[in-house]
């Protein structure tokens, strides 16, 4: 039998290695994150449902965004764009000067907490409804507790952080006059996700080719991307899995992993790491001077079964609407280093050694 294969990045497998006491379970802690919570099939289901409830005329989105949130919004609402800086901070001045009382402002905690630096000031200055996407910092309980003081609603995509088939969360201190719809028992998205995540675990344990599970997981994403009806609730299997995941252990390991990566990667030549922001995030952003260098680096990483995601690929219709020059887009410059709790110290040492080897070969 082959040795266990190291795969860095990509989706979780359905192997559960961190079991929990009920009081520490991800479900219990997320359920306590605010006064009112609804678990959905995905983050975009949560996002769609709260926008549908508020029904605003105008919404404000960052011009560096996951295209799925734009897709959910663009056919029903008037979209305004505010700027995101190269350090992932947001254009607070633009928001303050332009957001009106009946508008909805969406802020994404992209790859960390930099975009949330001025949240308290923004919330006390404007009268708009504020929605925060906290997916990338879902394991930072202290940050979540602080954010909920200065925002109306918080949304999460749980399948980005946990080994679940599906999962999104809408959280608020305000009563939520909505409910999630039942999942269709033969949901094709769940079927492809189930097979993909199961075979992913098998390929890692047995050291076999991982292309099969990637194929099924991509198919699942294609199905969700084409979805026109949103508002489904989380599957019972994913809810049960959340009850077995130890949130506190995951959070602690995530923090240690992030610190270790910053310690191991010093003075790279072909990229730079954005400075530490002190939060517990699922990723560390690395920024390149140009797209071609980023793409070559990413291609080399794949040869070692290291899959760093691009946050976020932006389709041409979105780029056109934002009126951003494609060559200067943040999504063309960034790669995201996974630092979540799945990885051991040895995994991260291997990953960082590979990073440094590729970096050296490019200089």
**63 and 144 fall within a common domain:** yes
Residue 154 φ/ψ, nearest 5 degrees: -130, 140
Determine, yes or no, domain membership for 240: no
Determine, yes or no, domain membership for 239: no
Residues forming a β-bridge with 171? 37, 154
**44 and 138 fall within a common domain:** yes
Residues constituting the chain: 363
pLDDT score of 270 more than 60 = yes
**29 and 137 fall within a common domain:** yes
At 20-29, the pLDDT tens digits run 666 789 999 9
**349 and 311 fall within a common domain:** yes
168-172/8-9 β-pairing? unpaired
Determine, yes or no, domain membership for 238: no
Tokens 């790669």 sit at which residue?
335
Q: What is the dihedral of CA 95, 123, 116, 69, to 10 degrees?
A: -60
The residue among 337, 93, 142 whose CA lies nearest residue 251 is: 142
What does the pLDDT average to over 143-148? 96
CA 237 – CA 168 distance, rounded (Å): 14
Mark residue 184 as left, alpha or beta (left: phi above 0; alpha: psi -120 to 50; beta: remaining): beta
**95 and 156 fall within a common domain:** yes
More confident call, 21 vs 274: 274
**Can you give the pLDDT at residue 2?**
46
8 A C-beta contact, residue 351 and residue 172: no
Cα–Cα distance list, 76 to 48, 58, 65, 179 (Å): 10, 10, 18, 20
pLDDT score of 300 more than 90 = yes
Domain that includes residue 226, residue range: 184-233
∠ at Cα 85 (80, 90), nearest 5°? 55
**333 and 268 fall within a common domain:** yes
**26 and 167 fall within a common domain:** yes
More confident call, 211 vs 185: 211
Euclidean distance between the first and the last CA atom of the chain, given in angstroms as a whole number: 38
- Residue 107 tokens, joined: 């802020």
**146 and 82 fall within a common domain:** yes
CA 16 – CA 12 distance, rounded (Å): 10
Determine, yes or no, domain membership for 155: yes
- State the CATH number of the domain containing residue 294: 3.90.1150.10
**Can you give the pLDDT at residue 198?**
78
Give yes or no for a cis peptide into 215 (omega within 30° of 0): no
**159 and 204 fall within a common domain:** no
More confident call, 12 vs 213: 12
CA 363 – CA 359 distance, rounded (Å): 7
Q: Most distant CA pair in the chain: distance in Å? A: 63
Determine, yes or no, domain membership for 29: yes
**43 and 120 fall within a common domain:** yes
**215 and 261 fall within a common domain:** no
Tokens 């760093």 sit at which residue?
308
Determine, yes or no, domain membership for 63: yes
CB neighbours of residue 184 within 10 Å: 10
> Where does a domain end: 151, 172, 193?
172
Determine, yes or no, domain membership for 14: no
Q: What's the DSSP call for residue 111?
A: T
What does the pLDDT average to over 112-141? 96
- State the CATH number of the domain containing residue 66: 3.40.640.10
Determine, yes or no, domain membership for 1: no
**88 and 38 fall within a common domain:** yes
pLDDT score of 166 more than 80 = yes
pLDDT score of 120 more than 90 = yes
Cα–Cα distance list, 316 to 77, 313, 321, 325, 326 (Å): 20, 10, 9, 11, 9
8 A C-beta contact, residue 306 and residue 281: no
Number of domains in the chain: 3
What does the pLDDT average to over 106-126? 96
pLDDT score of 51 more than 80 = yes
What does the pLDDT average to over 117-136? 97
∠ at Cα 14 (11, 19), nearest 5°? 115
């Amino acid at each position: 039998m082959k040795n266990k294969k190291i795969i860095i990045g990509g989706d979780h497998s359905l192997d559960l290695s961190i079991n929990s006491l009920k009081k520490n379970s991800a479900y219990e802690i997320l359920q306590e994150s605010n006064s009112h919570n609804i678990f959905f099939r995905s983050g975009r289901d949560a996002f769609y449902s709260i926008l549908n409830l508020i029904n605003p005329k105008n919404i404000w989105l960052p011009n560096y965004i996951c295209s799925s949130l734009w897709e959910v919004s663009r056919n029903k609402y008037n979209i305004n764009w505010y700027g995101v800086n190269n350090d992932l901070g947001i254009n607070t001045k633009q928001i303050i000067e332009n957001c009106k009382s009946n508008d909805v402002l969406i802020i994404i905690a992209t790859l960390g907490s930099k975009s949330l630096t001025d949240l308290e000031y923004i919330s006390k200055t404007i009268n708009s409804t504020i929605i925060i996407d906290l997916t990338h910092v879902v394991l930072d309980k202290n940050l979540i507790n602080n954010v909920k003081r200065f925002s109306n609603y918080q949304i999460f995509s749980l399948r980005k952080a946990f080994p679940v088939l599906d999962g999104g969360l809408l959280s608020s201190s305000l009563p939520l006059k909505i409910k999630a719809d039942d999942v269709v028992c033969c949901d094709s998205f769940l079927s492809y996700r189930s097979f993909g995540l199961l075979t992913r675990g098998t390929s890692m344990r047995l050291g076999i080719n991982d292309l099969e599970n990637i194929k099924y997981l991509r198919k699942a994403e294609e199905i969700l991307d084409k979805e026109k009806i949103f508002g489904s609730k989380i599957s019972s299997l994913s809810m049960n899995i959340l009850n077995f995941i130890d949130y506190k252990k995951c959070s602690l390991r995530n923090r240690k992993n992030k610190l270790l990566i910053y310690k191991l990667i010093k003075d790279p030549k072909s990229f730079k790491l954005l400075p530490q922001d002190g939060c517990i995030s699922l990723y560390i952003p690395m920024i390149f001077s140009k797209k071609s260098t980023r793409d070559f680096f990413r291609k080399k990483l794949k040869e070692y079964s290291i899959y760093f995601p691009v946050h976020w690929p932006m389709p041409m219709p979105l780029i056109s609407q934002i009126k951003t020059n494609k060559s200067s887009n943040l999504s063309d410059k960034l790669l995201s280093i996974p630092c979540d709790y799945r990885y051991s110290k040895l995994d991260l040492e291997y990953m960082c050694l590979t990073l440094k080897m590729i970096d050296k070969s490019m200089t």
